[in-house]
A and B are shown apart, each in its own frame.
Chain A
Amino acid sequence: MSVLLILMLPFVGILLPPLLQRQGRLAATLGAGIPTLLAFGLLMSLGPSVLAGEVLLASREWVPAMGLTAGLRVDGLGFLFATMTLGIGLLVITYAHFYMKKDDPLGRFYAYLLLFMGAMLGIVLSENVLLMALFWEITSLSSFLLIGYSSHDSEARRGARMALAITGLGGFCLFAGLVVLGQIAGSYELSVILASGDLITSHDWYVPMLVLVLLGAFTKSAQFPFHFWLPNAMKAPTPVSAYLHSATMVKAGVFLLARLHPALAGTSPWFFLVGGVGIATMFFAAYVAFYRHDLKGLLAYSTISHLGLITALFGFGTAGAAVVGVFHIMNHAAFKASLFMTAGIIDHQTGTRDIRILGGLRKAMPFTMVLALLGSAAMAGIPLFNGFISKELFLKETLDLPLMAGAPWVFPVVATAGALFSMAYSVRLVHGVFFKDPTEKTPKEARDPSMGMLVPVGILVAICVIVGIAAEQTAGPLLAAAAGSTVGGELPYYSLSLWHGFTLELLMSAIAIGGGVVLYLQRARLYEIADRWPQLTGQMAFEKVQGLILSFAEGLTARLENGSLQRYIVLLLGMALVAGALPFLEHGFVTGTAELTPTNPVAIAVWALLVVATLATVFTHRSRITAIICLSVVGLLISIIFVYLSAPDLALTQLSVEVVTILLLLLALFVLPKVAPPESSTLRKIRDATLAAIGGAGMGLISWAVMTRPQDSISDYYLENATYPVGGGTNVVNVILVDFRGFDTLGEVAVLVLAAFGVYTMLRYARHTHVEGVDDMASDRYPVVLVSVSRPLLALILLMALYIFLRGHYLPGGGFIGGLVASVALILQYLASGIDWAKERMGVSFRYVAVAGVLLATLSGGAAFLVEQPFLTMTLLGLKIPLVGEIDYVMTLLFDLGIFLAVVGGTMTILSQLSHMQEDREPFDEEARAKETDPWKP
């Protein structure tokens, strides 16, 4: 339980600093410091049991399906890292209070810092590796926020994005690797994974899994060639660098190596990948660090180098090396955090971090000088400091590598060379800043800072010195516990004493220290040589790659999504053709065996007319009125065909829809150009014609294939059940529409009403956008002949509509057709007599007729609920109404009436809107009106 509390405290604390910020800087700092201190205290209370070798576990289920648990674990390694995270965190919070500028939003800064702290704790205290990966990515995210804290600085923004891209990429690889790892081990719990080392290392997937996991570790720990994000992250405020880039974030990578050491280490892929990359990074980064003029840049590369050293140690795969690796983690955290803070002090007090400008600060900043001197000595690996012990143990480990038996000198030589540069840059740091003569005046007058900034550094430096002198007595127990969990078994013999006699590694240390000094003295010549080398950095490569991807993405997107609808339609059609053709290509086209229906001359004549009319529509499509006329002929012929194919309902519907559609298209031509320009190229036309021919042929062939097959469908049921007492009608099609499949019909009128509403809205906008040509419609209105014919006609047609509607259940007809016919009659009045005349006499808004129709249909369907029948049950044989008696089929009629009204309302809304486009009576300013009636708006 207390483990969970330790983890939660920083997350809970996130809210405090921003909230307390208004009470002043101190309040914000306390808001960040107190949760940290509490967590630290709680952690320490666990110390005795952890140091005694206990592993504290606390687990809760979270997502069993993915093997993810909210499992926490405190063992030696986790305890060590948690201690560093919280301990150095406390120091950094203190330091930042004095370091950050007065006008910096400190609350936000501390909130980010606590977020990061919590995530880091999560990594080191997770029992479930997926949970660990989860926290892993949160550290990347929070470090993105921290690095980009000075967001007005373009370098900071770029650095933040680069860090996020690299560590994010690594994070994704890591969680992929961990998924494989869990799959191999059969569980994502560390307890299981750590115990299945043999199973894992002998598995087929070991190498790919290892590569993925290592990508995560290397990117986070800034190993070559992913190191370049770290120096670019130096734009972060110095407390952030001191925290993230010495003790925590970058250490997550080596933590991972240590954490999974028992399960993954000891194989030759592990050795060459981890050991090789580590040692290469160690040398390379030390070399580069020597050439950095920016203090923080130097420290950043030094950090990379030391992380390489630690990585190499874990890579060696032996228990002994692992112990040294853990030891160097502790030591490096202490001295590097102190040095970053020192660099921050120098920057804060002088206004620059450039070693070429700085110099001679020993007089102005004596305290700082002492602390820097001690910290650098630890970094350089000078005896009596903690860095010396671990570095010497490291050199010793390089001498005994069984897998390098062929070339045993490689690792020791590279390691010594790395140590030599390490010495050289450490000397440079101290001498260059405090002792050599200054070349120019610093931007600010240098002097020692307040105690608040010095004390945190002092504490860290003290640790370096104490551990350096009496390692066994001070760091011994913690190291033993941490190394114990890293090795995963009995600890090997090791000695932390200063003096091991005259050994080879002592000689190597001596060479490194001596050589480093010599190198520093020769620096001027070395810088000159280095300046002549071409600059090719990982950062440039990264930006080049990113630029390439970006321009590729932009180019590709602009090219594909070019905003041409014709292309999209061609793609859709192409897909459909492929989808339709593939099965036939694979399985062959089989014609059915059913007997064909004989044909007759009339049918052939109608067919020929249809083909001619259709093709005429295509060929005349640019002169639009002609095309519409051709289209209307097609529609007429189709109605005839429907009659012939024993579908009178369809013929009626088609006919009335055809009339309305043609009317609509003609009205549209009042606005749209009546003639279209020729524009398609011949090539385009051929392409389209080919596609069209294939598409049409495909439809025809499928239809042929189906029509020639014998039929076995569910339709007989409808024929058997349509009449009394079940369906109550003889027109089966209508019974299907209003009863069997009433749901579809209800949906269908909803579609019609939606269309009507859409038309209404759009035309209201259109009317307010004055365009020439609209007024054409107004002229030539009310032809006398039409007026005199249409009025008597109206009554007649309406009567017919009513008749069609009423008989629908028994003979062809029904709500749909009746509604459409009525609409045609009504719209004739509009066209003949003008809107004002018609409006006065009708006095009803068709939109509400339409909605009322839908409501009526829905209600008559819902009546079934009253007698516990399913929705849309029409034949309510049990429903008795007082006085009226049983109402068997009334619901059918009401439903159909609803449909009728909806169709009339919907169609009329569309047509009437179209035919009085120049009219406008209602207030258009919807917003203004809404304000009047809306009680919620001020």
Chain B
Amino acid sequence: MNHWITLPVLIPFVAAILIEIVGRHHIGARRVLAVCAGLGTIAAGAYMLLRTHQGEIFTYAMGGWEAPFGVALVADGLSALLVTLTGVVSLFAALYSMNRHDTKGKFFHFFLQMQVAGICGAVLTGDLFSLFVCFEIMLLASYNLLVYTGEERGLKAGVHYVILNLAGSALFLVAIGTLYGVTGTLNLADMALRVGELGPEDTALVRAGGLLLMVVFMLKAAVLPLHLWLPNVYGSATAPVAAFFAILTKVGVYAILRVSTLVFGSEAGVAADVLAPYLLPLAALTLALGMLGALGSLRLRKALGFLIVASIGTMLMSIGLYTPEGIAAGLYYLVHSTLGIAMLFLLVDLIARQRGEKDDRLVVARAPAQRALLGLLFFAGAIAVVGLPPLSGFLGKVWVLQASLMTPHVVVVWVAILLTSVLALVALSRAGSLIFWKGEEADDEERVPRATAFELLPVFGLLACLILYTLFSGPAAELCMMIAEGLLSPGDYIEAVMGVRP
């Protein structure tokens, strides 16, 4: 029995419950539990990686009911990768929150762990409806994390975020319903088998269901034109929340990738290639608008939000090639950009605090008190998100270029990547120069809150992760390649779940 497959869901889920029961009145207990849960999730993810990195796929029949009747959990390299990444980001977000953020509201750690559980459930489940349920857990936890401080900024952004996503959830259900109506199943692998047998009279119906589903995932992933909500929402969250949200859009990317290759892959009969023609152009535009937005933002946090949009554009453009190299490069970049953005969100919090009431606005203000240290970290973070050497973003971009070279989309991809890289460079060098060089010296009279070692720890931790990721790019790229190849030949996945090959 592969009980370990349930761990990424159960660890944070049980931790969340315990946080409310055991740590009711004691913040210390909540924190200890949160750190343990973070470490546990990472360990579970790492173990999954270890088991799946040869391309093996494990399934787990929840409640003992075989697929497609019960809910099946499926562990493959892709889900292992996302679980590990979620664990890492949640751990650092939890650590950072212990500096004045997790006491602003009562249930921060509860919500955070619930969200981790929701994300892990979403990437593990092999069932479309439980994907919906996990998305809802994830969303409600994120709504809560957005408004948990009760600050006006978060509440205003929260109204937008919640209502838009409620509309998205309705759409999700319509899509699930349509697909169930045509195929008669909710299990993704079973659905993949069944769409192959549909007759031409069902073509339009199943494709409509598939595309509606993709629209929902695009909303979560913030793909053009559904990206506009993101910058303000992320820019209004507290630092640890925004840093953790860096993983949230990636769940959308995951869902697009999983469903569009498994159910609507190129061998799916009448349902073949539902998304493939549209993804790449949309992603390229997302990248362009995201980067222009980063350049045109008046606040640093918002600019970071737009950089997330741009990074989503980059990885989906690569994934949109639907070649092994393309998907692998997209996944490689996914890990990188999540770590890089998370680090910057934490860092910007420290910077903004030392700038006084100008906060993160891109205007002249007093320079941060720890100008050299924070400047150095900002420089490193900017290098990461622009995709400059020596950090892994550069390798990711090189790989995307390589992957697209032999395809018909080479011109679009290359122009988009090269031009937006320059825009990112200009945007971040302007911001950095404004904050660290142009900033006025702080008055001696004024007491500026200096960043403590404990506050810097998560920032350095994420930077260390980036550096390690760069150094071990070889195995990482190999893993991405293995995952990509597996996704493009979904037969193994279907066989692992259903016991038959299509």
* Chain A residue contacts of B62, Cβ below 8 A: 742-743, 870-872
Q: Smallest Cβ distance from B472 to chain A, in angstroms?
A: 9
In whole angstroms, how far apart are the Cα atoms of A133 and B402 in the complex?
Answer: 14
Give min CB distance, A908 to chain B, whole Å. 16
**B467: CB under 8 A from chain A?**
no
Q: How many residues of A contact B (CB 8 A)?
A: 129
Q: Does B69 lie within 8 Å of A740, measured CB to CB? A: yes
A contact residues around B436 at 8 Å (CB): 151
With A557-B292, A587-B207, A714-B190 known to touch, is A576 a contact of B137 (CB < 8 Å)? no
Is A203 at the interface (CB under 8 A from chain B)?
A: no
Residues 289-309 (chain B) with a chain A CB within 8 angstroms: 289, 292-293, 295-298, 306
- B147 lies within 8 A of A582 (CB): no
- Cβ < 8 Å to B, chain A residues 879-938: 926-927, 930, 933-936
Q: Is A65 at the interface (CB under 8 A from chain B)?
A: yes
Of residues 182 to 222 in B, which have CB atoms within 8 Å of A's CB atoms?
A: 182, 184-187, 190, 200-205, 207-209, 211-212, 214-215, 218-219
A134 CA / B134 CA spacing, docked (Å)? 41
Q: Which residues of A sit under 8 angstroms from B215, Cβ to Cβ?
A: 572, 575-576, 579
A558 / chain B contacts, CB cutoff of 8 Å: 296
16 contacts between A and B (CB under 8 A): A65-B481, A66-B477, A168-B422, A180-B405, A549-B423, A550-B296, A553-B295, A553-B296, A579-B215, A582-B208, A755-B140, A757-B110, A758-B147, A761-B105, A868-B1, A870-B62
Alpha-carbon distance A870/B147, docked complex (angstroms)? 37
8 additional A-B pairs beyond A151-B438, A870-B63, beta carbons within 8 Å, are: A134-B390, A175-B394, A183-B405, A587-B204, A742-B71, A757-B111, A868-B1, A872-B62
Most buried by B among A168, A739, A927: A168
Q: Is the CB of B204 within 8 A of A741?
A: no
A455: Cβ under 8 A from any B Cβ: no
Q: Given A563-B232, A576-B171, A755-B140, is A747 in contact with B121 using a C-beta cutoff of 8 Å?
A: yes
B159 at interface by CB-CB < 8 Å? yes
Which of B20, B25, B160, B163 has the most C-beta atoms of chain A within 10 angstroms of its own C-beta?
B20
Q: What is the chain B residue whose CB lies nearest that of A584? A: B204
Q: A130-B398, A743-B71, A870-B60 are in contact. Are A65 and B164 (CB under 8 A)?
A: no
Bound-state CA distance A98–B478 (Å) is: 51
Asked if A504 CB lies within 8 Å of chain B CBs, one says: no
Contact B26–A933 (Cβ < 8 Å): yes
Which residues 164-211 of A have a CB within 8 angstroms of B?
164-165, 168-169, 172-173, 175-176, 179-180, 183
A713 contacts the other chain (Cβ, under 8 Å)?
yes
Is A590 a contact of B204 with CB atoms below 8 Å? yes
> Which label, helix, strand, loop or mixed, suits the secondary structure of the A interface?
helix
Interface of A toward B, CB cutoff 8 Å: 61-68, 108, 130, 133-138, 141, 144-145, 148, 151-152, 154, 157, 160-161, 164-165, 168-169, 172-173, 175-176, 179-180, 183, 546, 549-550, 552-558, 560-561, 563, 565, 567-569, 571-573, 575-576, 579-584, 586-590, 592, 699, 702-703, 705-707, 709, 711-715, 717-718, 721, 739-744, 747-748, 750-751, 754-755, 757-758, 761-762, 764-765, 847-848, 851-852, 854-855, 858, 862, 864-865, 868-875, 926-927, 930, 933-936
* B98 interface residue (CB < 8 Å to A): yes
A contact residues around B17 at 8 Å (CB): 851, 854-855, 858
Nearest residue in A to B394 (C-beta to C-beta)?
Answer: A134
**Could you say which of B13, B174, B204, B399 contacts A583, with CB atoms under 8 Å apart?**
B204
Q: Which residues of A contact B207 (CB under 8 A)?
A: 582-583, 586-587
Known: A165-B429, A552-B292, A872-B62. A572 touches B114 (CB 8 A): no
In the complex, chain A residues whose CB is within 8 Å of the CB of B10: 858, 862, 871
Q: Which of B122-165 contact A (CB under 8 A)?
A: 125, 129-130, 133-134, 136-137, 140-141, 143-144, 147-148, 150, 155, 159-160, 163-164
Q: Given A65-B478, A739-B63, A751-B133, A926–B106 Cβ distance below 8 Å? A: yes
Contacts of A555 in B (CB 8 A): 296
Q: Could you say which residues of chain A place their CB within 8 Å of the CB of B136?
A: 747-748, 751
CA distance A169 to B426 in the complex (A): 10
**A67–B481 alpha-carbon span in the complex (Å):** 13
Q: B418 on the interface (CB 8 Å rule)?
A: yes
Check A179–B401 contact: CB distance below 8 A: yes
> When the two chains form the complex, which single residue of B63, B107, B111, B185 contacts A873, counting CB atoms closer than 8 Å?
B63
Residues of B near A549 (CB, < 8 A) are 295, 423, 426
Least CB distance, B9 to chain A, in whole angstroms: 9
Q: A934 — nearest CB in chain B belongs to which residue?
A: B27
* A179 with B405: CB separation less than 8 A: yes
Decide if A848 touches B21 in the complex (CB within 8 Å).
yes
Report A-chain residues with C-beta under 8 Å of the C-beta of B214. 579
C-alpha gap A152/B111 in the complex (Å): 45
Contacts of B137 in A (CB 8 A): 747, 750-751, 754
Q: Are B129 and A744 in contact (CB under 8 A)?
A: yes
Q: Is B499 an interface residue (CB 8 A)?
A: no
Bound together, the chains give a CA A414 to CA B216 distance in angstroms of 64
Residues of chain A lying within 8 A (CB to CB) of residue B28: 933-936
Q: Chain B residues near A576: list those with CB within 8 A.
A: 171, 212, 215
B47 at the A/B interface (Cβ < 8 Å)? Answer: no
Cβ of B287 within 8 Å of any chain A Cβ, yes or no, is no
Which of these, B98, B180, B297, contacts A557 with CB under 8 Å? B297
Question: Given A108-B372, A588-B204, A747-B136, are A579 and B473 also a contact pair (CB < 8 Å)?
Answer: no
**A714/B185 contact (C-beta < 8 A), A546-B426, A549-B423 known:** yes
Question: Contacts of A560 on B, CB cut-off 8 Å?
Answer: 228, 289, 293
Q: Contact: A569 with B163, CB < 8 Å?
A: yes
- Please name all residues of chain A whose beta carbon is closer than 8 Å to the beta carbon of B401 when the two chains form the complex: 175-176, 179
Cβ contacts under 8 Å, A721 to chain B = 69
Q: Which residues of B contact A (CB under 8 A)?
A: 1, 3, 6, 10, 13-14, 17, 20-21, 24-28, 31, 60-65, 68-71, 98, 100, 103-107, 110-111, 114, 117-118, 121, 125, 129-130, 133-134, 136-137, 140-141, 143-144, 147-148, 150, 155, 159-160, 163-164, 167-168, 171, 174, 177-178, 180-182, 184-187, 190, 200-205, 207-209, 211-212, 214-215, 218-219, 225-226, 228-229, 231-232, 289, 292-293, 295-298, 306, 328, 372, 379, 383, 388-390, 394-395, 398-399, 401-402, 405-406, 414, 417-418, 421-423, 425-426, 429-430, 433, 436-438, 473-474, 477-478, 480-481
Return B2 CB to nearest CB of chain A, in Å. Answer: 9
The answer to whether B159 and A157 touch across the interface, beta carbons within 8 angstroms, is no
- A872 and B21 contacting across the interface, CB-CB below 8 Å: no
In the complex, what distance in Å separates the CA atom of A553 from the CA atom of B362? 15
CA distance A589 to B21 in the complex (A): 54
Checking B60, B98, B212, B481 against A579 with a beta-carbon cut-off of 8 angstroms, the contacting residue is: B212
Give the shortest distance, in Å, between A190 (CB) and chain B (any CB).
Answer: 17
Complex interface: chain A residues within 8 A of B203 (CB): 583, 587
Chain A nearest Cβ from B335, distance in angstroms: 14
Q: Are A754 and B225 in contact (CB-based, < 8 A)?
A: no
List residues of chain A with CB within 8 A of the CB of B106.
761, 764, 926
Q: Which of B134, B167, B389, B414 has the most CB of A within 10 A?
A: B389
Q: Chain B residues near A862: list those with CB within 8 A.
A: 10
Cβ contact within 8 Å between B150 and A765: yes
Say whether A61 contacts B474, CB under 8 Å. Answer: yes
* Residue in chain B with minimal CB distance to A546: B426
A557 to chain B: which residues have CB within 8 Å? 292-293, 295-297, 306
Residues of B within 8 A of A550 (CB): 295-296
Residues from chain B with a CB closer than 8 A to the CB of A717 are: 69
- List, in ascending order, chain B residues with CB within 8 A of A546's CB: 426
Complex Cα distance, B217 from A576, in Å, reads: 11
Q: Is the CB of B178 within 8 A of A179?
A: no
- Least distance between B349 CB and chain A CB atoms (Å): 17
Given contacts A568-B229, A870-B62, contact A713 B180 (CB under 8 A): yes
Shortest distance from the beta carbon of A60 to any chain B beta carbon, whole Å = 10
Give the contacting residue for B389; candidates A138, A750, A936; CB below 8 A: A138
Given contacts A706-B178, A761-B150, A927-B104, contact A553 B292 (CB under 8 A): yes
